[in-house]
Amino acid sequence: MLNLRPLSEPRRATTVLDVARMAGVSAMTVSRALNQPQRVPPATRQRVQAAVEATQYVPNLLACGLRSRRSRLVAAIVPALGSPVFSETVQALTATLGAAGYHLMLGQSGYGTDGEDALLQAVIGRRPDGIVLVGVDHSRQARQQLAGCGVPVVETWDLTPAPIDMLVGFSHADVGAAVCRFLAGQGRRRLAVVSGADARAARRAQAFAATAQALGLAAPVQLEVQTPSTLGSGRQALRQLRAQPDAVDGIFCSSDMLALGVLTEAAHQGIAVPDRIGVVGFGDQPFAADAEPALSTVRVDGARIGREAALRVVGRIAGDPAPEQAALDVGFSIVVRRSA
Taking only the tens place, the pLDDT of each residue in 230-285 is 999 999 999 999 998 889 999 999 999 999 999 999 999 999 999 999 999 999 99
Pair type for strands 130-134 and 73-78: parallel
Angle between helices 27-35 and 42-55 (to 10 degrees): 100
Confidence grade of residue 10 (pLDDT, cut at 50, 70, 90) = low
Confidence grade of residue 69 (pLDDT, cut at 50, 70, 90) = low
Residue 5 pLDDT > 60: no
Residue 7 pLDDT > 60: no
> Does 178 map to a domain?
yes
Instruction: Work out the average pLDDT over 85-103.
Output: 94
Instruction: Work out the average pLDDT over 84-88.
Output: 88
Mean pLDDT of the chain: 89
Higher pLDDT, 1 or 329: 329
> Does 1 map to a domain?
no
Measured CA distances, 91 to 103, 209, 263 (Å): 12, 34, 29
Residue 1 pLDDT > 50: no
- pLDDT value of position 296: 98
Express as a percent the part of the chain with pLDDT over 90: 60
> Does 5 map to a domain?
no
Same domain, 205 and 312: no
Total Cβ atoms within 10 A of residue 80: 16
The CATH number that applies at residue 209 is: 3.40.50.2300
Same domain, 306 and 163: yes
Confidence grade of residue 337 (pLDDT, cut at 50, 70, 90) = very high
Beta bridge partners of 265: none
Q: What is the pLDDT of residues 122-181, one digit of tens each?
A: 888 878 999 999 999 999 988 988 888 889 999 999 999 999 999 999 999 999 999 999
Higher pLDDT, 54 or 163: 163
Same domain, 326 and 269: no
The CATH number that applies at residue 22 is: 1.10.260.40
Same domain, 183 and 293: yes
> Does 66 map to a domain?
no
Same domain, 54 and 122: no
- pLDDT value of position 66: 46
Residue 225 pLDDT > 70: yes
Same domain, 142 and 253: no
- pLDDT value of position 246: 86
> Does 50 map to a domain?
yes
Which of 122-131, 180-189, 221-230, 318-327 bottoms out in mean pLDDT, i.e. has the lowest? Answer: 318-327
Same domain, 306 and 166: yes
Same domain, 142 and 157: yes
d(CA 122, CA 170): 28
Structural domain containing residue 54: 16-59
- pLDDT value of position 155: 97
Residue 68 pLDDT > 50: no
φ/ψ (deg, to 5) at 13? -65, 140
- pLDDT value of position 11: 54
Last residue of a domain, one of 33, 59, 85: 59
- pLDDT value of position 80: 83
Same domain, 160 and 216: no
Same domain, 25 and 88: no
Instruction: Work out the average pLDDT over 44-73.
Output: 72
pTM for this one? 0.80
Same domain, 177 and 245: yes
> Does 154 map to a domain?
yes
Residue 2 pLDDT > 70: no
Residue 224 pLDDT > 80: yes
Total Cβ atoms within 10 A of residue 272: 10
- pLDDT value of position 12: 64
Domain tally, the chain? 3
Same domain, 280 and 188: yes
> Does 6 map to a domain?
no
